[in-house]
Structure 1
Amino acid sequence: MTIDYRLDGPSTAPLLVLSNSLGTTFELWQPQMAALTQRFRVLRYNQRGHGTTPLPAMPLTLDILGQDVIALLDKLDMERAYFCGISMGGLTGLWLNRYHPQRFHKLAVANTAARIGSAEGWQQRAQQVQQTGLAPIAAASPARWFTEDFQRDQAQLVASLVKQLAQGNAAGYAACCQALAQADLRAEVPHMAAPLLAIAGEHDPVTTVTDAEWLVANAPNAVLAILPTSHISNVACPVRFSQQVMQFFTA
């Protein structure tokens, strides 16, 4: 298995898979670890082209990102798990809910949509990264990720995340952009059978509250939670994020 992953929490507890956003590593979930490991065995992993997880030989697709999660469950001999993903990780969760719902008790997806952005926008970003690297993308990321108040009050934390993105794998980032350019699950949402929590950020300019409301209106078994954040809601509002996820999973 080539996927870079880490397990934390009681070995006898139910398994919870966490899937992070584009350009971040599984360290993004550190604000949730103290709460989640009280009830779950937590599996964090780095998507293709992130951390030490390599890219596949073929072009990256949402199918590959989703199948990697199934492969991890198989490797760990886990028939079923819980799942929580944010942004690109949330889109991966939607794919899993459509194509492998029997492998999951419940899924939470945060700051995501059945279709994130446009093909043209993702292709342009991939080209930019290929030409100039990740530094310009990283410098512009705080405006997408966090509100102005959070950027001001948590400047050191924001700077750390920006630095991590700037030092990331440009080829991996671009490959994920290409995968997102092709990913569109809008026609599949009515067929997502597993219970679903959609978490939206009230101030998210990337995946809006309207996107989350559409998911909840069209998925057969979904509920909505809205947090007073922008796009990276688990970092900006860690306690309430953890509470929403825990309440949904343990209800």
Structure 2
Amino acid sequence: MTIATLNHRFDGPADAPVVILGPSLGTELGMWDAQIPELSRDHRVLRYDLRGHGRSHPVPGTDSVADLVGDVLTLADSYGIGRFAYAGVSLGGAVGLWMGVHRPERLTGLIACCSSARFGEPEGWRERAATVRAQGMRQLADTVIRRWFTPEYIEREPAAVRRILEMLYACPPEGYAGCCDALAGYDLRAELGRIGAPTLVIGAERDPSTPLEHARELAAGIPGATLVEVADAAHLANIQQAEAVTSAMLAHLTAGVRG
């Protein structure tokens, strides 16, 4: 396993409980901006860019979500952070779910937003990886943005949508493709029962990438998990319905997480 050095940022009191926030495929740590004012009041919030995204350098040979988990744990270790709560959107959520199965001793709590135990057929991810390696990121824009946000939000909030699109455009194709390769081999459906951390699953009513059935499958498979379904949001629910998602996260972090 080759470890990446991740671009990252801290917010909040240095002595507060730590929560690490993982971004979705094709975005950067700024996708969590709407949550920071509330989360950072009583938590030490650590955000990061996935390897090959934002200001984190690509690593040749990325082929599993385990690689991405290794990056996060190495980052935490570099600051002496032994245990922490973890929240992630989509691929960022998959990082947390994998950690919950395979590295449970690190987690005080887990939040998976618009994520899944499996993201479709492996061949689809391999084809997407090949497309971006050959043609670049802009080939994905029209399709991806209509999965990330509802049509009404795209029309109503063009500046917010453009900001997220710029993250996608700026993502190095090899970094994006490497994470697609990782998703091709990701499947935790048979292992969800091993997750022991207090878990919140957030699903979005209009998410075409990870429909509500995926969130319900996670919540049913993870012992004691709580499910929150967010109305009028697509895949990036933490942006489109920031208040609802932040409220659910805070409730879980303050009441459902063990120290």
Report the TM-score range of the alignment, normalised by the length of the smaller protein.
over 0.9
Preserved contact between residue 5 and residue 71 of structure 2 (Cα < 8 Å): no
1:243 corresponds, among 229, 241, 247, to 247
* CA–CA separation in structure 2 for the residues paired with 1:58 and 1:150: 37
* CA–CA separation in structure 1 for the residues paired with 2:196 and 2:98: 11
Q: Mind listing any 5+ residue stretches in structure 1 that lack a counterpart?
A: none
Preserved contact between residue 25 and residue 50 of structure 1 (Cα < 8 Å): yes
Matched, 1:140 2:134: no
Which residue identity lines up with residue 90 of structure 1 in the other structure? G
Partner of 1:130: 133
Aligned residues: CA RMSD: 1.1
Q: After the TM superposition, which residues 64-213 of structure 1 pair with which residues of structure 2 at under 5 Å, given as runs?
A: 64-213=67-216
Q: 1:60 to 1:52 in 2, by over 3 A?
A: farther
Question: Post-superposition shift, 1:44?
Answer: 0.4
Question: Post-superposition shift, 1:143?
Answer: 0.8
* CA–CA separation in structure 2 for the residues paired with 1:245 and 1:20: 15
Secondary structure, in 3 states, of the residue corresponding to 2:41?
coil
- Percent sequence identity is 35
Question: Post-superposition shift, 1:55?
Answer: 2.6
* CA–CA separation in structure 2 for the residues paired with 1:2 and 1:68: 7
Partner of 2:235: 231
Q: What TM-score do the two structures reach when normalised by structure 2? A: 0.94
Q: Cα deviation per residue 1:120-159 (whole Å; 9 max; x = unaligned)?
A: 1111111110111000112322210011111111112112
Preserved contact between residue 141 and residue 162 of structure 1 (Cα < 8 Å): no
Which residue identity lines up with residue 165 of structure 2 in the other structure? V
Preserved contact between residue 50 and residue 172 of structure 1 (Cα < 8 Å): yes
Question: Post-superposition shift, 1:244?
Answer: 0.1
Question: Post-superposition shift, 1:250?
Answer: 0.6
Q: Mind listing any 5+ residue stretches in structure 2 that lack a counterpart?
A: none
Preserved contact between residue 117 and residue 206 of structure 1 (Cα < 8 Å): no
* CA–CA separation in structure 2 for the residues paired with 1:56 and 1:151: 33
Question: Post-superposition shift, 1:192?
Answer: 0.9
